[in-house]
Structure 1
Amino acid sequence: MKRKNLLITVLITTFITPYAAFAKPPRYVDKTYKCDILVVGGGLSGVATAYEGLLAGKTVCLTEITDWLGGQISAQGTSALDERPTQRQKQFYSRGYLELRNRIQRKYGKLNPGDCWVSDSCFLPRDAHNVMGQMLKDAEREGKGKLQWFPNTVIKELEISKDGKIINNAIAIQHQPVKNTPPLNTFPLSQTIEDAYRYENSPRFTKSIIRFVAKQSQRNAPNWYVVDASETGEIVALADVPYRLGIDARSYLEPSSSSATNDPYCTQGFTYTFAMEATQEPQPQTMPPFYPVYAPYFSYELKRLANFDLVFTYRRIWSPKQGQPTRFGGVNFTAPTPGDISMQNWTWGNDYRPGTAQDNLIYTRQQLQATGQLKPGGWMGGLRTEALAKGEEKALAYYYWLVAGTTDSQLGEGVKQPQPNNRFLRGFKSPMGTVHGLSKYPYMREGRRIIGRPSWGQPEGFGIWEIDISRRNYNDEYYRQTLPLAMYRQLKAALSGLEATAVIGGQISPDQAMRRTRSTIFPDAVGIGHYAIDFHPCMEKSPPEAPGNRERPGERRGAGLAYPFQIALRAMIPQKIDNLIVGGKSIATSHIAAAAYRVHSFEWSAGAAAGTVTAYALKNNIAPYQLVDDLPKIEPQLLSLQKLLQQNGNPTAFPDTSIFNQNWEDWR
Structure 2
Amino acid sequence: MKRSRRVSAGKSIISLSFSLISLLSLAPIARSVSDGTPDETVTCEILVVGGGLAGAATAYEGLLAGRTVCLTEITDWVGGQISSQGTSALDERPTQRSRLFYSRGYLELRERIRRKYRELNPGDCWVSESCFIPSDAHDILLDMLRDAAKRGKGTLKWFPSTVIKELDYNPTGNLIKSAIAIQHQPALDALPLNTFPLSKTIEDWYQYPNSPRFDKTIIRFVPQNSSPGNVPDWYVVEATETGELIGLADVPYRLGIDPRSHLEPSSSSATGNPYCTQGFTYTFAMEATKEPQSHEMPPFYPQYEPYYSYELPRLADFDLVFTYRRIWSPKKGEPEKFSGISFTAPTVGDISMQNWTWGNDYRPGTEVDNLVYTPDQLQATGQLAPGGWMGGLRTESLRKAEELSLGYFYWLVDGTTDSQLGDGVKEPHPSYRYLSGLDSPMGTVHGLSKYPYMREGRRIIGRPAFGYPEGFTIWEIDMSRRNYREEYYRQTLSPKMYRQLWTALAGREAISVIQGEVSPDEVNRRTRSTIYPDSLGIGHYAIDFHPCMSFSPPEAPGNTEREGERQGAGQAYPFQIPLRAMIPQKIDNMLVAGKSIATSHIAAAAYRVHSFEWSSGAGAGTTAAFALEKGIAPFELVDGLPPHDPQLQVLRRRLEANNNPTAFPDTSIFNQDWDDWR
Give the TM-score of the pair, scaled to structure 1: 0.97
Identify the match of residue 63 of structure 1 among 59, 72, 79. Answer: 72
The alignment status of 1:418 with 2:431, answered yes or no, reads no
Distance 1:533 1:506, change over 3 A: same
Q: What's 1:120 paired with? A: 129
Q: How does 1:377-526 map to 2 (within 5 A)?
A: 377-526=387-536
Please state how far the C-alpha of 1:663 moved relative to its aligned partner: 1.3
Identify the match of residue 557 of structure 2 among 547, 554, 562. Answer: 547
Identify the match of residue 363 of structure 2 among 319, 337, 353. Answer: 353
Identify the match of residue 331 of structure 2 among 296, 321, 339. Answer: 321
Distance 1:42 1:23, change over 3 A: farther
Check conservation: 1:22, 1:377, Cα contact below 8 A: no
Q: What's 2:61 paired with? A: 52
Distance 2:395 2:514 in 1: 48
Distance 1:367 1:179 in 2: 36
Distance 2:64 2:516 in 1: 54
Please state how far the C-alpha of 1:217 moved relative to its aligned partner: 1.3
In structure 1, give the amino acid aligned to 2:474: I
Q: How does 1:610-621 map to 2 (within 5 A)?
A: 610-621=620-631
- Count of matched residue positions in the alignment of Structure 1 and Structure 2: 657
Identify the match of residue 298 of structure 2 among 267, 282, 288. Answer: 288
Deviations 1:588-642 (A, max 9, x none): 0000000000000000000000000000000000000000010000210000000
In structure 2, give the amino acid aligned to 1:490: Q
Distance 1:590 1:53 in 2: 28
Distance 1:429 1:665, change over 3 A: same
Deviations 1:319-373 (A, max 9, x none): 0000000000110000000000000000000000000000000000000000000
Q: What's 1:43 paired with? A: 52
Deviations 1:149-200 (A, max 9, x none): 0000000000011211000000000001111111000000000000000001
Deviations 1:396-422 (A, max 9, x none): 000000000000000000000000000
Give the TM-score of the pair, scaled to structure 2: 0.96
In structure 2, give the amino acid aligned to 1:513: V
Check conservation: 1:73, 1:80, Cα contact below 8 A: yes
In structure 2, give the amino acid aligned to 1:130: D
In structure 2, give the amino acid aligned to 1:401: W
Distance 1:108 1:332 in 2: 23
Distance 1:22 1:485 in 2: 60
Identify the match of residue 308 of structure 1 among 318, 333, 339. Answer: 318
Check conservation: 1:583, 1:607, Cα contact below 8 A: yes
Check conservation: 1:489, 1:504, Cα contact below 8 A: no
Identify the match of residue 339 of structure 1 among 324, 349, 354. Answer: 349
Unaligned segments of structure 2, at least 5 residues: 1-18
Check conservation: 1:216, 1:223, Cα contact below 8 A: yes
Distance 1:532 1:397 in 2: 29
Distance 1:438 1:10, change over 3 A: closer
Q: What's 2:16 paired with? A: none
Q: What's 2:543 paired with? A: 533
Unaligned segments of structure 1, at least 5 residues: 15-19
Deviations 1:4-45 (A, max 9, x none): 9xx99984448xxxxx9896431x211100000000000000
Q: What's 2:165 paired with? A: 156
Q: How does 1:604-643 map to 2 (within 5 A)?
A: 604-643=614-653
Check conservation: 2:24, 2:200, Cα contact below 8 A: no
Check conservation: 1:23, 1:197, Cα contact below 8 A: no
SS of the residue corresponding to residue 60 of structure 1 reads strand
Distance 1:144 1:648 in 2: 16
Please state how far the C-alpha of 1:310 moved relative to its aligned partner: 0.1
The alignment status of 1:180 with 2:189, answered yes or no, reads yes
Distance 1:62 1:412, change over 3 A: same
In structure 2, give the amino acid aligned to 1:324: E
SS of the residue corresponding to residue 624 of structure 2 reads helix
Single out whichever of 76-85 and 489-498 deviates more from structure 2. Answer: 489-498
Distance 1:447 1:624 in 2: 24
Distance 1:593 1:22 in 2: 44
State the superposition RMSD in angstroms: 1.3
SS of the residue corresponding to residue 511 of structure 1 reads helix
Check conservation: 1:49, 1:607, Cα contact below 8 A: yes
Distance 1:611 1:22, change over 3 A: farther
Please state how far the C-alpha of 1:572 moved relative to its aligned partner: 0.1
Distance 1:348 1:657 in 2: 38
Distance 1:364 1:12 in 2: 27
Q: What's 1:366 paired with? A: 376
Check conservation: 1:271, 1:391, Cα contact below 8 A: yes
Q: What's 1:94 paired with? A: 103
Distance 2:267 2:405 in 1: 29
Please state how far the C-alpha of 1:648 moved relative to its aligned partner: 0.4
Check conservation: 1:23, 1:378, Cα contact below 8 A: no
Please state how far the C-alpha of 1:501 moved relative to its aligned partner: 2.8
Check conservation: 1:24, 1:377, Cα contact below 8 A: no
Please state how far the C-alpha of 1:218 moved relative to its aligned partner: 1.9
Check conservation: 1:573, 1:581, Cα contact below 8 A: yes
The alignment status of 1:601 with 2:611, answered yes or no, reads yes
Deviations 1:459-478 (A, max 9, x none): 11000000000000100000
Q: What's 2:262 paired with? A: 252
Identify the match of residue 572 of structure 2 among 554, 558, 562. Answer: 562
Q: How does 1:189-204 map to 2 (within 5 A)?
A: 189-204=198-213
Identify the match of residue 272 of structure 2 among 232, 244, 262. Answer: 262
Q: What's 1:659 paired with? A: 669
